Chain A
Amino acid sequence: MNGAALSTRLRSVRLQDFEVLHDIELQLQPARWTAIVGPNGAGKSTLLRALAGLIPADGEILLLGKPLHDWAPKQRARTLAWLGQNETGADDLTAHDVVMLGRLPHQAWLAAPSDADAQAVRDAMAQTQSWDWRQRRLSTLSGGERQRVLLARALAVQASVLMMDEPLAHLDPPHQADWIDIVRKLVARGQTVISVLHELNIALQANVLVVMAKGQVLHQGLASDAATHRALQQVFDHRLRIAQLDGQWLALPHTPASSGSMP
């Protein structure tokens, strides 16, 4: 497990009385973008929440080689940033206040935000092009605008590992492209990004794919690998095909009627 940004051996993860995940072993390398994919109910979001230490899990999770539960909460929060699926609430806060929450792990109790905090918030909002609405209440923003503010909140943490659950919800295609651009820049700077994605065409642009089905990891490999593509096709019951267009891998819905039209 040495050298991994995040590694885990999970025996099981239960939600109430239901075993959602079992027998999972993963090693996620630093400075990589890993996308967790799989059909509905595969346990993708549960795995991400377990890796972030947000739900109890039976097994071992190491963050930068150190057991997750050995990290002090604030130190862990500075190292591992989280963007949840459909984060709601905070309607009365301004966009700026919400992004400043990302600096909470860096601030001493009751201390005013520092210049570094202000700069981190400015940078994060500039990256997600949300600076112009900094004084608007979150309740007045559209779904896509709100998602960009929440992404800025996660970026403002400046953590070495960033986990995002369905970060593209409500984003239109140009802003999805911006999100990919942001992720690639983070990875280029040495940060590790782990995201759960439904959009397979975007997931295929990640460095590594973790393919899940029925609460288990079926395959972990490079997004460009043929073995990874076969695993993807298998978990989606061979109802998609993976093809290359202009050097980019695409997953296309595949039915018997459309089988002859693939490139």
Chain B
Amino acid sequence: MNQKPAVVLTLLLLASLALLALGVSVGSTGLDWSHDSSEMAHQILWQIRLPRSLGAWLAGALLGLSGAVAQGLFRNPLADPYLLGSSAGAGLGVALSMALIGTSVGANLWLQRLGLTGAAFAGTVGGVLLTLLLARGVEHTLRLLLAGVVVGVVLAAITSLLMLMQPDIMRTMQSFMLGATGFLSWSSVVIMSVALCLSLLVALGASRALDALSLGDATARSLGVRLSLVRVVLIAAFALATGTAVAQAGMIAFVGLVAPHLVRNYCSTTHGKLLLLSSCSGGVLLLGADILARGLLAPQELPVGIITAIIGGSYLLWLMHRATRRRQA
């Protein structure tokens, strides 16, 4: 199935609008289409459901963009936003900030100022920087990937150790690890909007280099691409997008991995359009999953990461199955 990118973009935007409408209608009691004009209903709609729905779409868009950047940069369809030590760094940032609360007045003041979202963002950026340091720069993508694996394993081990030493932080950590859209506010929406605009603009600026890079380092270099500069710029966009999404909504699985594949399944396109479409498809995926998380067992709410893992994993399995059948045909 090969559609024009403009058609896919239109469909994704329509789906986004439809899901936003659905998102503001789904509450703890399931679907609610009534037009209650009370102050309470107004508050629920404007202060809880709308920022949550917009926030879920934006977090998904950031992860979709980050996944498309990672897959293009590393020429690896299995690359996702949680490479390069970003997720383990975020996890350690959150665990460390919770473990340090109450240890001293200075630490308390610092952590209050930073907050859990700030700690997660700082952890993400720290994890990526540590990976770059261990890989001795951005020259070798394989070295970068391996350094990312090492940083991921070591930082995750430190996080586990902290949780063992302070079991009371486990519940918050679990919520962070499974992803949570319930706390998204208007300030989250503003922060993620700014991060999405910035990282998308930066990534779009390097999108032609990503196209050239898809033919290999040598060909890209022969076409005049300054590989080191492009890698630094794209890793910065990747870290900003992943760090912001993780800081606001936790570690939501599979959205960043699946969103670019969803786009590629319906249209063949250059990275410029792929980055934009992957953002939109990430937004649609996470908002759709969030609505399911809210509505499936209402009034109870499922962690959104469980829904994205089930949907994303099933979709990848279906893609693999279809590719195998095509090869056999």
Contacts and interface: CB of A to CB of B under 8 A. Distances in A.
B216 interface: yes
Contact of A97 (B211, B226, B264): B211
Chain B contact residues (Cβ within 8 angstroms of A): what range?
20 to 34
Nearest to A82: B222
Contact of B215 (A80, A89, A105): A89
Interface stretch (A71-79, A121-129, A198-206, A226-234): A71-79
B236 interface: no
A89 B226 contact: no
A164 B270 CA distance: 25
Interface in A198-235: none
Given A92-B268, A93-B270, A104-B208, A98 B223 contact: no
Interface in A85-129: 87-90, 92-94, 97-98, 101-102, 104-105, 107, 109-110
Interface in A120-160: 137, 150, 153, 157
B189 to A, nearest CB: 28
A73 B222 CA distance: 8
Nearest to A102: B223
A170 interface: no
B269 interface: yes
Given A92-B269, A110-B205, A52 B222 contact: yes
Nearest to A106: B224
Contacts of B211: 90, 93, 97, 101
**Most chain-A CB neighbours within 10 Å: which of B219, B222, B224, B270?**
B222
B222 A80 contact: yes
B218 interface: yes
A84 B218 contact: yes
Interface in A33-47: none
**Most chain-A CB neighbours within 10 Å: which of B211, B223, B264?**
B223
A87 B219 contact: yes
Given A77-B223, A105-B223, A93 B216 contact: no
A49 interface: yes
A77 B224 contact: yes
Chain A contact residues (Cβ within 8 angstroms of B): what range?
20 to 34
B154 to A, nearest CB: 27
Given A89-B75, A92-B264, A101 B218 contact: no
A104 B216 CA distance: 15
B225 interface: yes
A205 B205 CA distance: 44
Contact of B219 (A74, A84, A92): A84
B276 interface: no
A66 to B, nearest CB: 16
A73 B215 contact: no
Contacts of B274: 92
Contact of B214 (A49, A80, A93, A109): A93
B322 interface: no
Interface in A46-65: 49, 52-54
B224 A104 contact: yes
15 contacts: A54-B221, A73-B221, A73-B225, A78-B224, A84-B219, A87-B216, A88-B215, A89-B215, A92-B214, A104-B224, A105-B224, A107-B208, A110-B205, A137-B268, A150-B215
What are the 5 tightest A-B residue pairs by CB atom distance, in nearest-first order? A77-B224, A82-B222, A74-B224, A90-B214, A73-B224
Interface of A: 49, 52-54, 73-78, 80-82, 84, 87-90, 92-94, 97-98, 101-102, 104-105, 107, 109-110, 137, 150, 153, 157
Given A92-B214, A105-B223, 11 more contacts: A49-B218, A54-B221, A73-B226, A77-B224, A89-B216, A90-B211, A97-B269, A104-B223, A104-B224, A105-B224, A157-B223
